């Protein structure tokens, strides 16, 4: 493999946190001779889909206008996004390529991919995503995929509306999954798409190490109206298993609902568990989104209790997972 391509792969990984799989592109054998003389062609497979790399030859001097024209010719032939890669491009030519919106990468120097809204320069150190635990909105996105079915194709805007978060927040969630290699990420025109091609059990096994409890904090209160309570924790688990219901019932609320409760005069927060008190779990995301039969969703409840040291709880959680229709 060409050293420039190897450097490109390392640069991709360092800046985007993405393993780029690069192989010679066999379809180039059918390209006109003038293209094959000027460039080497490679397929780039990564979480966002497949692109074509058009690597300029070291001894071939081409103007930005010619590169732009030939890149369009190649894109028309292969039907994929095409990235021009060169070992070095002078400042003037880089500026001209950007003006013509030509995607290009100069390893160790600059990455300009307008179809992904990325313009990285070496002196603008873009931080690689190092998170091993998903953000709440990203976890919500995964839960949505697990509950909705297999082979989903999603866009940030449509799923943001369903999950009641902003499109920007959901775009970051897509970025986070892409960095972890979860799902198939593609760009069609201006629309970014995420497709889960694996079955739900395989997705669950892949994401489980990155999931965490949805509970931000637990508080005991008295005076809480339970008419529209959403059961969670041990109370919900008791309704799905043979485990006994706890003396102190557990409900889940969002952070915003909790603020409203505390701001009113209907409840009393107490420092310790007391007879008749209710345990309130304040969640990092809306607990009612996937609720069913008055209980929070099973996966979130599982995540909230999976670190319990009680063998009876662990046995009930095992039964809970087996009950899920993957």
Domain with 175 in it: what CATH number? 1.10.10.10
Which of 97, 121, 145 lies at the terminal end of a domain, its last residue?
121
200 and 220 share a domain? no
Q: Confirm whether 46 is domain-assigned.
A: yes
Interacting residues of 321 by C-beta distance below 8 A, sequence separation 6+: 302
The predicted pLDDT at position 118 comes to 66
Which of 210, 240, 256 lies at the terminal end of a domain, its last residue?
210
265 and 198 share a domain? no
Beta strand pairing status for 118-121 and 184-188? unpaired
The predicted pLDDT at position 126 comes to 36
The predicted pLDDT at position 225 comes to 87
**Which of 101, 40, 46 has its CA nearest to residue 72?**
101
Q: Confirm whether 129 is domain-assigned.
A: no
201 and 223 share a domain? no
Q: Confirm whether 130 is domain-assigned.
A: no
116 and 37 share a domain? yes
Q: Confirm whether 148 is domain-assigned.
A: yes
Q: Is 282 exposed, middle or buried (0-12, 13-18, 19+ CB in 10 A)?
A: buried
Strand, helix or coil for residue 128 = coil
Number of domains in the chain: 3
* pLDDT tens column, 260-303: 888 877 788 898 888 889 999 999 999 999 999 999 999 999 99
89 and 199 share a domain? no
146 and 203 share a domain? yes
The predicted pLDDT at position 120 comes to 54
Alpha helices for 50-100 (secondary structure H)? 64-78, 91-99
Enumerate helices (H) and strands (E) in the chain, giving the number of each: 12, 14
Which regions in the chain score pLDDT beneath 70? 1, 15, 117-131, 188-190
| pTM value > 0.85 | no
13 and 101 share a domain? yes
Q: Confirm whether 107 is domain-assigned.
A: yes
Q: Confirm whether 131 is domain-assigned.
A: no
Q: Confirm whether 202 is domain-assigned.
A: yes
DSSP strand E in the chain: where?
21-24, 39-46, 49-56, 82-85, 104-106, 110-113, 118-121, 153-154, 184-188, 191-195, 215-222, 250-254, 268-270, 278-283
> Which residue segment(s) compose the domain that 230 sits in?
215-323
144 and 41 share a domain? no
99 and 167 share a domain? no
* pLDDT tens column, 22-59: 999 999 999 999 899 999 999 998 777 789 999 987 77
**Which of 220, 222, 231 has its CA nearest to residue 265?**
222
52 and 21 share a domain? yes
The predicted pLDDT at position 131 comes to 52
159 and 234 share a domain? no
226 and 292 share a domain? yes
Which of 162, 182, 210 lies at the terminal end of a domain, its last residue?
210
Q: Confirm whether 127 is domain-assigned.
A: no
């Amino acid at each position: 493999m060409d050293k420039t391509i190897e450097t490109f792969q390392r640069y991709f990984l360092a800046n985007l946190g993405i393993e780029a799989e690069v192989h010679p592109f066999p379809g180039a054998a059918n390209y006109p001779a003038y293209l094959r003389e000027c460039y080497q062609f490679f397929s780039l497979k990564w979480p966002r889909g497949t692109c074509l790399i058009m690597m300029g030859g070291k001894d071939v001097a081409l103007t930005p206008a010619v590169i732009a024209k030939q890149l369009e010719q190649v894109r028309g032939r292969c039907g994929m996004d095409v990235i021009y890669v060169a070992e070095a491009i002078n400042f003037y030519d880089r500026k001209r390529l950007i003006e013509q919106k030509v995607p290009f990468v100069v390893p160790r120097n600059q990455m300009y991919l307008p179809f992904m809204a990325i313009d990285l320069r070496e002196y603008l150190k873009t931080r690689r995503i190092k998170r091993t635990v998903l953000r709440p909105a990203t976890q919500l996105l995964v839960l949505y995929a697990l509950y909705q079915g297999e082979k989903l194709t999603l866009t940030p805007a449509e799923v943001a509306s369903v999950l009641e978060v902003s499109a920007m927040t959901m775009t970051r969630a897509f970025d986070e999954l892409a960095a972890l290699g979860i799902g198939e990420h593609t760009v069609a025109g201006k629309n970014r798409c995420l497709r889960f091609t694996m079955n739900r059990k395989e997705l669950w096994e892949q994401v489980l190490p990155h999931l965490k409890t949805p509970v931000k904090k637990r508080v005991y209160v008295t005076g809480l109206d339970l008419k529209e309570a959403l059961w969670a924790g041990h109370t919900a688990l008791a309704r799905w298993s043979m485990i006994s219901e706890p003396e102190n019932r557990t409900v889940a609320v969002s952070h915003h609902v909790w603020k409203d409760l505390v701001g009113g005069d209907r409840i009393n927060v107490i420092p310790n568990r007391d007879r008749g008190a209710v345990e309130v779990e304040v969640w990092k995301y809306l607990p009612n989104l996937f609720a069913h039969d008055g209980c929070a969703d099973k996966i979130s409840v599982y995540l909230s209790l999976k670190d319990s040291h009680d063998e009876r709880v662990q046995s009930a959680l095992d039964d809970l997972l087996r009950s899920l229709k993957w």
